[in-house]
Amino acid sequence: GAGVSQSPSNKVTEKGKDVELRCDPISGHTALYWYRQSLGQGLEFLIYFQGNSAPDKSGLPSDRFSAERTGGSVSTLTIQRTQQEDSAVYLCASSLLGNGGTEAFFGQGTRLTVV
Amino acid sequence: AQSVTQLGSHVSVSEGALVLLRCNYSSSVPPYLFWYVQYPNQGLQLLLKYTTGATLVKGINGFEAEFKKSETSFHLTKPSAHMSDAAEYFCAVSEVDNDMRFGAGTRLTVKP
């Protein structure tokens, strides 16, 4: 597609359930990022992929969070045993892996609400 | 890892006044610096970026930012604010490996 696509756009889940969030990056973009945006908290870095590998997983908040990327394309962010504090907008972005000065293009995000 | 600090989570200016949003970065190597804007109920979009060369960078909608290595700063300015500039602004830094980190954001309010 023309842009970064995230699905679902909205997700309401019960506390304790697992959720999977999907990101389709722009075709040909080798770098992929996940961020979390909570009210008043700015953009919290979660994880970054170069191709299928994740050089930096330091932002994942707990071991309930995991992410993978296959085929250098689609990525899924999985949250197990969701908690109310996981409620936020989860943003995905992608960029060409170049010299580091390339623009990151963002999806519209997945709004997760844990009830 | 590289990091960004945005001073002031909320800035309010009058229409026509100067806009100044502050950003300081930390990086062990020459950084690449970005400003992104998020208008209400919209996704993030690039406003401007600095990679190499001229330290004063011009972006969309009349915004500009100046890279000052000695001050480790990349402040965003606009001479005259418009009501349509009301949004959240994020400063970001990346290094050669493309790992991009964002600041906490500054919400700009423009008063009539």
Give the model's pLDDT for residue A1.
Answer: 54
A33, A43, A50, A108: best mutation site toward chain B, by most B Cβ within 10 Å?
A43
Q: Does B96 touch chain A (CB under 8 A)?
A: yes
DSSP secondary structure letters along B71-95: GTEEEEEESS--GGG-EEEEEEEE-
Give the model's pLDDT for residue A79.
Answer: 98
Please write the tens of the pLDDT for every residue from B25-48.
998 788 899 999 999 888 899 999
Give the model's pLDDT for residue A58.
Answer: 82
Element (H, E) at B26: strand B24-26
Give the model's pLDDT for residue A94.
Answer: 92
